[in-house]
Structure 1
Amino acid sequence: MIVRIWRTGLDESRADEYETFAYGRSLPMFQRQPGFRGVFFVRTATGRASVTLWADLESAEALANAPEYHETVAAIRSTGFLQSPQSVELLPADKTWIAPDLTTP
């Protein structure tokens, strides 16, 4: 399992727009990618992050070459609500455990 963390600054006055984009456009795009296993959209001290889970390193790295991913990135950048800094990190998950009854509110 690979954990991919994308961090971004955000114009907090437009946080509702970001959330609409994340759930309405980013999530469906991720769901169509081979090897995608899950996502957490989280708040950080300086903005937001999407923490995605991937079956393997190849799947996580393939996202960077996926045409639909590039279209989604272009669309979110064009909104103007993202701010610097932005970063991406890939981390191997040595061991994982998720409660079987875990549900999203």
Structure 2
Amino acid sequence: MIVRDWSTGYAPGRLDDLAAFCNDRLKPFFRDHDGCLACVFTHDDSEWRTITVWRDQAAVDGVKDSAVYRGLLDELLASGTLAGEQRVQKLSVAGGGLFGPLPF
């Protein structure tokens, strides 16, 4: 399994817009994309993270090759919601577990 962590800053006053976009547009994309096992959106006062869990590297590669995903990112970038640069980190899963249903 692979964890993909995408992080970015967001514009002041735009957190609700970013959360709505991610929940309404990105979450369904990830849910329906082959090999995506989970997605979680997190934030603090200045940084947003989209953390996804993938079956394997081929599934992760399928996202970067997806025209739908590129279109969603282009739309998000054009919205003025994001601030600063975006960073991606990919990590191999060494263990852990999910301990019950998540409340979302």
Shorter chain as denominator, the TM-score bin is over 0.9
TM-score, normalised via structure 2 length: 0.93
Q: Is the Cα contact below 8 Å between 1:37 and 1:52 reproduced in 2?
A: yes
Describe the superposition over 1:24-77 as per-residue Cα deviations: whole angstroms up to 9, x where unpaired. Answer: 001011112110000110014631000000011111122100111111111111
Unaligned runs of 5+ in 2: none
Scaled by the length of structure 1, the TM-score of the pair is: 0.92
Give percent identity, aligned residues only. Answer: 23
Is 1:40 matched with 2:40?
Answer: yes
Length, aligned pairs only: 104
1:46 and 1:85 mapped to 2: Cα distance? 12
Gaps of 5+ in 1: none
CA contact (8 A) 1:54 1:60 kept: yes
Matched, 1:103 2:95: no
Q: 1:78 corresponds to which residue?
A: 78
Instruction: Tell me the C-alpha RMSD between the 2 structures.
Output: 1.3
